[in-house]
Amino acid sequence: MGFAGLVSHLHYHEPSNLVFVSFLVKGLFHNLCQPTRRGSKCFSQDVMERLVLVLAHLFGRRYIPAKFQDANLKFYQSKVFLEDLPEDFKAALDEYNMNVTKGFASFLLVVSKLADMKQEHQLPLSKIDFTGEECEDSQLVSHLLSCKEGRRAVSPFACLSGNSDADLLHPETPDHVTQCTIGISNISAPVLWPQRLDNQGRRMPLNAYALDFYKHGSLLGLVQDNRINEGAAYQLLKDFALTIQSISISLRELCGNEEDNVVLAFEQLSETFSEKFKKI
C-alpha cells in the first residue's frame, strides 16, 4: 500500500497530503532531519523550526490580507508573516505542480471529447443556439469561430475571451472556463500553488501562526500579533498538533527502521508541539 494510508489519514488536507508524500519520496525530509551529532536521537531547535516551517506551508495555510504587509505594524512576540519554503522544497513543489498540471490538462483534453457540444453552444439562460452554422458566409462569424482551434477543453464562451487549453490550470484562471457538460472543473486538480494573489494582484502572505506558536508557546501572542480569534487559534493549533501526530504514527508504522531520522524527528516534534499546546 505504500503511503496510501498516510495520504488517507490526511485526506482533509488535500492536496497538501500529496505534496508531503512527494517530499518524503524525494528524500527531502531525510536531508533536513539530521541529528545534532552522529548516532544521536535528538535534533536541534533549528532543525525542528525548519521542519515546522515546511509543515506550516502544507498544513497551516491561513492567509493574511496583502495590505498588512505595507502597514507599519508592531509585533511583540510573533513574526506573523511566514517565510518562504527552503529552496530544495520550493523546487520540489514546483516540479510537483508542473507534473500534476500536465497530467490533469491531458485528462481534461481526453474527457472533453465526451462534452455535449450542442448544449455547450447554447446561451445558458435563453438557450439560444450560437453554433454559427446559419452564418457560415459571414467573415465576422468565421473569425470568431476560428478561435476554437487549440481550445478543445475550453468553453466556447471562454474562447471569445482569449482563453486556451494552455491557460486551464493557471491559478488566476477562473473555474468556469472549462466545458460545463463534462462536469469537471480545473480547480479539481490537486495542485498547491505557493502564492495567492488578491483581486488587485498583490501577494497574500501566509500567517506564521504555527511556527510562531512553536517558538513562543503563547496563545495570547497569536491573538495580539497574528490577528486570530482566540477560539479559532486554539482550533488551528489543535488541528496542526493532531496532523503532526498522525504523520508521526503513520511513519512509525511504515518504516521498518526504528532508528530512521525522519521518524525520530517527527516523534520529537509531535511530543514537543503537543506539550506546548497542552500548556495553553
- 146, 161, 188 — which closes off a domain? 188
- 130 HSE (CA, 13 A, CB side): 17
Whether 164 and 207 share a structural domain? no
Is 94 contained in some domain? no
76 and 215 share one domain: yes
Task: Specify the pLDDT at position 110.
Answer: 78
**pLDDT at position 198:** 87
Residue 161's pLDDT is: 63
Question: Residue 101's pLDDT is what?
Answer: 86
Q: What is the pLDDT of residue 144?
A: 56
Q: How far is CA 265 from CA 24, 58, 105, 231, 236, in A?
A: 13, 17, 37, 29, 22
Q: What is the pLDDT of residue 103?
A: 87
**Domain presence at residue 120:** yes
Is residue 118 in a domain?
Answer: yes
Low-confidence ranges of the chain (pLDDT < 50): none
Give the model's pLDDT for residue 238. Answer: 97
Q: Would you say residue 175 lies in a domain? A: yes
Question: 81 and 205: one domain?
Answer: yes
